[in-house]
Amino acid sequence: MRLQKQIVVFLLLCSSSILAQNKQLLYDFMAVPQALMLNPGARANYQWYSGVPMLSGISAYAGTSGISVNDIFANDGVDITTKVRERAVFGMDFRDEISETIQVEFLNVGFRSKNRPDDFYSFGMYLEEDMITYWPQDLAILGFEGNANYIGNRFNLDHLKVRGEVVNVFHFGLNRKLSNTLRVGVRGKLYSGIFDISSTNNSGYFVTNPGQNNLLANTLDADMTLRTSGIDGLVEEDQGVSQTIIKRALFGGDLGLGLDIGFTYRLNNKTLVTGSLLDIGFIRHTKDVKNYTLKGSATNEGISIILPEALADPNRDFWQDLVDEIEGLVPFEDNRDSYINFRPTKLNASIRYNFGKPLTSEEDCECTSNGGGLKGRLPEYSNSVGGQLYMINRPRGPQAALTAFYMHKFGNFLALKTTYTVDKFSFTNIGLGMSMQAGPVELYAMADNLLGYRNVYASQYASFQFGLNIISWGRN
């Protein structure tokens, strides 16, 4: 029983580092060039920009949809076993997520075309880690409590869903102003996978019923698959792990293709509508692949010893006979078959209303080129309000978030954005983003769920983003 409880506590500790992918503070915050990565069709009013390598785009997100560290480890006089049982094992269900996403930008450069000033190009490279698992509700109950008090109750194996990957992404994007009201963009991506783990299509059950030849009969009906790529080589590597990772990151890993698309449309001088679809793509895993399967059905009532026949062979291993019988009916096997994983596609959409004092800086120029000249300049404003919808495709279906935001610009040197977001992790998520510019140098920092910083251990969500860029603002 102690080992069972240790396993459940380990799963719980993992859940305290859940991470999400929503970047509502950065989306359409065009004082920051990295906003182009969330919408390749966003308003790119730069002449050129360059992120400072390793410092231009770093982001991490943490939270939990079912429980916080404080719920388990708070000094509240309640026994920790009781808290684990009530708040984790029976307090969470199979829809609660345990996941993380971390992104580090190595290169991000953008420049305006001299021959076609309405075109803006960008390219770069970034490393992304994305992992998600769902709380295995039935398996956690079985592991913590055992099956003695659950006769006839089916423990579903499809509660086990996990997916994780580390991938290096090379990208090249084109942003084009088609008219004074419409701008579109596209970004191609080449994925170079470092490692991958996936087990998302499991089915079956474990159940204990009254037996016929014994007190109890246990039935296992399983169809489970765990697919991995790149893990065996890293685990077995005695030396040179870093060289292996670098090699895989630079086109030596599992390769795939992806696409981002987006647009910005002006309904009028003060109202904009935006939208984007990100990571429409896949990775084909062919290198260092090892998959594991558990498929079949078996019912056993324990070890059966029939007398006097059993006395004929006193050295017979009845336990091994039972194990061999079950393995024959529900074989655990492995293979090296290649497989394809589709990327978690993300959708962003927003509507924005500008108001207040018009701005007339280079940063806010929104012009149309026609035969080399400028015309139809539209004003930008110091204040903006709006709403944003975010969705991501996950193993248990789409996950959504709704955000209301307010932005304010203090001339050419400071821009602020504040957000209020509602999703499955929190109903009190207030965030703040800031972009400061001193000459060509731009520094930005953003943080989510500010109310949670009063007690980080009790918070169910936290995030941050920061970066350093060199920007040349220019009219197009």
Helix axes 2-15, 137-145, angle to 10 degrees: 150
Retrieve residue 465's tokens.
């983003």
Alpha helices in 74-211 (DSSP H): 80-83, 137-145
* pLDDT at residue 338 greater than cutoff 70: yes
Grade residue 327 by pLDDT with cuts at 50, 70 and 90.
Answer: low
Grade residue 432 by pLDDT with cuts at 50, 70 and 90.
Answer: very high
Name the residue among 283, 151, 309 with its Cα closest to residue 215.
Answer: 151
Q: What are phi and psi of 470, to 5 degrees?
A: -110, 125
Report the C-alpha gap between 421 and 344 in whole angstroms: 21
Mean pLDDT in residue range 313-339: 66
Helix, strand, coil fractions of the chain, as percent rounded to 5? 20, 50, 30
Which residue is listed with tokens 């209020």?
A: 420
Name the residue among 234, 207, 211 with its Cα closest to residue 221.
Answer: 207
21-42 pLDDT, tens digit per residue, is 578 999 999 999 999 999 999 9
What is the structure's pLDDT at 370?
Answer: 37
**Residues 15 and 96: beta-carbon distance below 8 Å:** yes
Determine the residue type at 293.
Answer: T
* pLDDT at residue 92 greater than cutoff 70: yes
Report the C-alpha gap between 67 and 265 in whole angstroms: 41
pTM of the model: 0.82
Stretch among 260-274, 365-379, 408-422, 454-468 having the lowest mean pLDDT: 365-379
226-256 pLDDT, tens digit per residue, is 999 998 888 776 657 888 888 899 988 899 9
* pLDDT at residue 305 greater than cutoff 80: no
* Most confident listed range (43-52, 304-313, 385-394, 417-426): 385-394
Q: Could you write out the DSSP letters of every residue in 192-227?
A: EEEEEEEE---EEEEEEEE-SSSSEEEEEEEEEEEE
* pLDDT higher at 44 or 325: 44
Share of the chain above pLDDT 90, in %: 41
Stretch among 60-74, 361-375, 396-410 having the lowest mean pLDDT: 361-375
Grade residue 143 by pLDDT with cuts at 50, 70 and 90.
Answer: confident
